[in-house]
Structure 1
Amino acid sequence: MNVSLILIILLVGAFATFLAGDKLASKVALFFGLAAAGASIVLLNHYNLGENIGFINQWITQPNISFALKADGLSMAMLLLTTVLTPIIIFSSFGNDYKNSKSFYALILFMSFAMAGTFLASDGLLYYIFWELSLIPIYFIALIWGNGDVEERKKAVVKFFIYTLAGSLFMLVAFVYMYQKAGSLLLEDLYKLNLTATEQLWMFLAFFLAYAIKIPLIPFHTWQANVYQKAPTVGTMLLSGIMLKMGLYSVIRWQLPLAPLAAKEYMYIFIGLGIAGVIYGSIVALKQKDLKKLLAYSSLAHVGLIAAGTYTLTLDGLRGAVLQMIAHGFVVVGLFYAAEIIFRRYETRAIAEMGGIRSQSPKFTSMFLILVLASVALPTTFNFIGEFTVLYSLSQINIWFAILGGTTIILGAYYMLKMFQHAMLGETNTKSFADVTINEGITLVLIIGVLFFFGMYPKPITDLITPSLEEILTQINRIN
Structure 2
Amino acid sequence: MDVTHILIILLVGALATYFSGDKWAPKVALLFGLAAFAGSICLLSQYNLANEINYVTLWIAKPKIYFALHADGLALAMLLLTTALTPIIIFSSFGNTYKNSKAFYALILFMTFAMAGTFLASDGILYYIFWELSLIPIYFIALIWGNGDAEERKKAVVKFFIYTLAGSLFMLVAFIYLYQKTGSFLIRELSQTDLSATEQFWIFLAFFLAYAIKIPLIPFHTWQAEVYQKAPTVGTMLLSGIMLKMGLYSVIRWQLPIAPMAAKEFMYVFIGLGIAGVIYGSIVALRQKDLKKLLAYSSLAHVGLIAAGAYTLTLDGLRGAVLQMIAHGFVVVGLFFVAEIIFRRYETRAIAEMGGIRAQSPKFTSMFMILVLASVALPSTFNFIGEFTVLYSLSQVNIWYAILGGTTIILGAYYMLKMFQHVMLGETNARIFADVTFNEGLTLVIIIAVLFFFGLYPKPIIDLITPSLENILTQVNRFN
Query: Which TM-score applies when normalising by structure 2?
Result: 1.00
How far apart are 1:2 and its partner, in Å?
1.8
1:208 aligned residue? 208
Correspondence 1:365-444 to 2 at 5 A: 365-444=365-444
Distance 1:395 1:338 in 2: 34
CA deviation digits over 1:8-35, x for unaligned, max 9?
0000000000000000000000000000
| AA in 2 matched with 1:421 | Q
Give the letter for the 1:447 counterpart. I
1:191, 1:475 within 8 Å by CA — same for their partners in 2? yes
Structure 1 window deviating more from structure 2 (453-462 vs 41-50): it is: 41-50
Provide the residue aligned with 1:117 in structure 2.
117
**Cα drift, residue 271 of structure 1:** 0.1
Note if 1:449 corresponds to 2:464.
Answer: no
* In structure 1, distance between residues paired with 2:108 and 2:266: 38
Q: Measure how far apart 1:353 and its partner are.
A: 0.3
Please tell me whether the aligned partners of residues 197 and 261 of structure 1 are also in contact (alpha carbons under 8 angstroms).
yes
Question: How far is the alpha carbon of 1:426 from its aligned partner?
Answer: 1.8
- Where does residue 160 of structure 2 map in the other structure? 160
Report what 1:108 is aligned to. Answer: 108
How far the C-alpha of 1:51 sits from its partner, in A, is 1.2
- Find the residue that maps to 1:289 and give its secondary structure: coil
CA distance in 2, matches of 1:213, 1:190: 23
Query: 3-state SS of the aligned residue for 1:59?
Result: strand
Following the alignment from structure 2 to structure 1, what is the Cα–Cα distance between the partners of residues 353 and 118? 41
Aligned residues with identical type, % of pairs: 84
Shift of 1:344: 0.3
* Gap regions ≥5 residues in structure 2: none
| Pairwise CA distance, 1:430 | 1.3
Distance 1:239 1:192 in 2: 32
Aligned to 2:322: 322
Which residue of structure 1 aligns with residue 90 of structure 2?
90
CA distances 1:160-218 after superposition (whole Å, capped 9, x unpaired) = 00000000000000000000001010011111100000000000000000000000000
Counterpart Cα distance in 2 of 1:426 and 1:70: 52
TM-score by length of 1: 1.00
- Structure 1 position 272 matched with structure 2 position 272: yes
Give the number of aligned pairs.
480
Asked if the contact 1:2/1:53 (under 8 Å) is kept, the reply is yes
Partner of 2:48 in structure 1? Answer: 48
Could you tell me whether the CA contact under 8 Å between 1:354 and 1:428 is conserved in 2? Answer: no
1:306 counterpart letter in structure 2: I
1:305 corresponds to which letter in structure 2?
L
Query: For residues 35-76 of structure 1, what are the alpha-carbon distances to aligned partners after superposition, in whole Å with 9 as ceiling and x for unaligned?
Result: 000110011001100112221111011111000001100000
SS across alignment from 2:478: coil
Instruction: Report how far residue 427 of structure 1 moved.
Output: 1.8
Q: Which residue of 1 aligns with 2:303?
A: 303
Unaligned runs of 5+ in 1: none
Provide Cα deviations, 1:89-129, integer angstroms capped at 9, x if missing partner: 00000000000000000000000000000000000000000
Distance in 1, Cα, partners of 2:174 & 2:43: 33
Matching residue of 2:470? 470
Match for 1:24: what amino acid?
A: W
Question: Counterparts of 1:169 and 1:382 in 2: how far apart (Å)?
Answer: 35
Aligned residue for 1:276, secondary structure, equals helix
Provide the secondary structure at the position in 2 that maps to 1:79.
helix
Residue identity in the other structure for 1:254: W
The structure 1 segments of at least 4 consecutive aligned residues displaced by more than 3 Å after TM superposition are none
Question: Does the aligned pair in 2 maintain the 1:65–1:125 contact within 8 Å?
Answer: yes
Counterparts in 2 of 1:323-362, with a 5 A limit? 323-362=323-362
